[in-house]
Amino acid sequence: MHIQEGEENDAYKDEHEKELQQSLDRYGVKIIKVVGVFGVTLGLIILAVFWYWVLSKLF
């Protein structure tokens, strides 16, 4: 009896860990996307400001 209960408990833990890992994976992907979009936006802003500065110095 105790062996079966332990196995069921282990199966529950494995299932719980699997769900938790999938949840963390989804959260991680969402964070990577948000950081990526933020980085690209910031990069474009810096690029635009740089070229505005260069062109204003030339003309």
Residue 1 is classified by DSSP as -
Containing H/E element for 19? helix 2-58
Using CA atoms, how far apart are residues 14 and 11, in angstroms rounded to an integer?
Answer: 5
pLDDT tens, position by position, 36-56: 999 999 999 999 999 999 999
Question: What integer pLDDT is reported at residue 34 of this predicted model?
Answer: 96
Using CA atoms, how far apart are residues 15 and 20, in angstroms rounded to an integer?
Answer: 9
Question: What integer pLDDT is reported at residue 24 of this predicted model?
Answer: 80
Domain range for 7 is 1-59
pLDDT tens, position by position, 8-20: 667 777 888 888 8
Q: What residues contact 13, with CB distance under 8 A and at least 6 apart? A: none
Residue 59 is classified by DSSP as -
**Number of domains observed in the structure of the chain:** 1
